[in-house]
């Protein structure tokens, strides 16, 4: 990526040529990294007021950048801040110890819950920043993303060929992504799919919300029951498409939200699950597989200990969950 002005000149208009490492990236996410330290609310205000342009045209938050685009970034005035502190050594170690696989093109980790994929929105250091801190002399790029509370397989590219190749495979639907999740209640079938278009919106401040809408983008998720628990089912979810919050919204749409989901879940059920030890969203990226340049890649991450321990407790003490559901059904009748 080349810039016509110094990246350290926030009071001047910048013309940025988009390189292949940002091909396909959303413009709001790109601006978070290009305007380090600038609040996300200000970034969205710049987008809403048309001050950010791609090839001379106004850009929306969900505009996708392409290699070769020219990005206009307006002057941004910020109060002087103290130099940013480096990440805590414990966080860096946690990400390094989570490495599952590495070759010349890719590095895959089993991302712990609570660590974001990248910094922004009040988060100083995500997984990509932590890995870069551990390996300052290596080129690392985030290929895809997981929500902060979602654990599991997260892949980084070490080369441009790896980055652009895998991102192209993701866009073309040639990557297998599977998750383990805990659905509230008992779906009528052990194996089924949810085909419901999803519409994404960005609220003021940058919070993302997704809903089922005929005007949204086609979205498909395949669910298969893995284990039965009182008042819940452990499911494997395989993505047919890769929309934001897809599994969470599809699960809620059929009346069986994910356990511990603070945005799309059932508050009363979440409270009951929390009392049994579930402190986060029960969603884990268990497998990612693809082929690139004649080689097959497959990365798998087992269910983490905190979720396994919760399932053990639920198996023994889950009658309370079942009674709560029965009470809810009685009220509905």
3-state DSSP assignment of residue 31: helix
- Per the listing, tokens 């419901």 go with 196
- Stretch (H or E) spanning 176: strand 176-184
Residue of 172, 105, 115, 169 whose CA lies nearest to 139: 105
Look up residue 208 and give its two tokens. 């993302």
Q: Distance (Å, rounded) from C-alpha 24 to C-alpha 167?
A: 8
- Directed axis angle between helix 89-97 and helix 127-134, to 10°? 90
Q: Distance (Å, rounded) from C-alpha 230 to C-alpha 185?
A: 8
Q: How far is CA 247 from the centre of its chain?
A: 11
Q: Distance (Å, rounded) from C-alpha 39 to C-alpha 36?
A: 9
Look up residue 298 and give its two tokens. 């497959």
Q: Distance (Å, rounded) from C-alpha 75 to C-alpha 145?
A: 29
Q: Distance (Å, rounded) from C-alpha 131 to C-alpha 129?
A: 5
Q: Distance (Å, rounded) from C-alpha 36 to C-alpha 24?
A: 20
- Stretch (H or E) spanning 57: strand 57-58
Catalytic residue among 23, 147, 261, 293: 147
Look up residue 47 and give its two tokens. 């987008």
Backbone angles phi, psi at 127, to 5 degrees: -60, -40
147 is annotated as an active-site residue: yes
* Partners of 287 in beta bridges: 178, 300
What are the residue numbers of the active site? 147
């Amino acid at each position: 990526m080349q810039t016509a002005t110094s990246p350290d000149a926030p009071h001047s208009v910048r013309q940025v040529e988009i390189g292949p490492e940002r091909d396909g990236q959303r413009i709001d996410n790109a601006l978070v990294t290009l305007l380090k330290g600038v609040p996300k609310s200000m970034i969205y205000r710049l987008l809403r007021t048309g001050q950010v342009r791609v090839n001379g045209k106004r850009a929306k938050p969900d505009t996708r950048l392409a290699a070769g685009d020219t990005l206009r970034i307006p002057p941004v005035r910020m109060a002087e801040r103290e130099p940013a502190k480096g990440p805590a050594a414990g966080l860096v170690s946690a990400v390094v110890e989570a490495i599952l696989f590495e070759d010349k093109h890719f590095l895959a980790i089993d991302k712990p819950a609570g660590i974001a994929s990248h910094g922004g929105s009040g988060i100083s250091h995500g997984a990509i920043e932590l890995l870069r801190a551990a390996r300052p002399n290596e080129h690392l790029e985030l290929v895809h993303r997981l929500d902060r509370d979602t654990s599991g397989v997260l892949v980084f590219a070490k080369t441009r060929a790896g980055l652009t190749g895998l991102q192209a495979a993701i866009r073309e639907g040639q990557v297998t992504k599977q998750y383990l999740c805990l659905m509230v209640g008992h779906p009528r079938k052990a194996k089924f799919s949810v085909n419901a278009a999803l519409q994404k919106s960005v609220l003021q401040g940058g919070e993302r919300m997704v809903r089922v809408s005929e005007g949204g983008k086609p979205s498909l998720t395949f669910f298969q029951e893995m284990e039965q628990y009182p008042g819940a089912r452990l499911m494997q979810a395989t993505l047919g498409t890769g929309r934001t919050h897809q599994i969470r919204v599809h699960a809620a749409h059929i009346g069986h939200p994910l356990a511990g989901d603070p945005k799309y879940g059932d508050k009363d059920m979440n409270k009951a699950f929390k009392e049994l030890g579930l402190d986060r969203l029960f969603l884990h990226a268990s497998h990612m597989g693809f082929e690139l340049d004649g080689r097959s890649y497959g990365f798998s991450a087992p269910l983490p200990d905190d979720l396994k321990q919760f399932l053990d407790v639920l198996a023994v003490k889950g009658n309370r969950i079942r009674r709560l559901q029965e009470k809810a059904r009685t009220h509905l009748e």
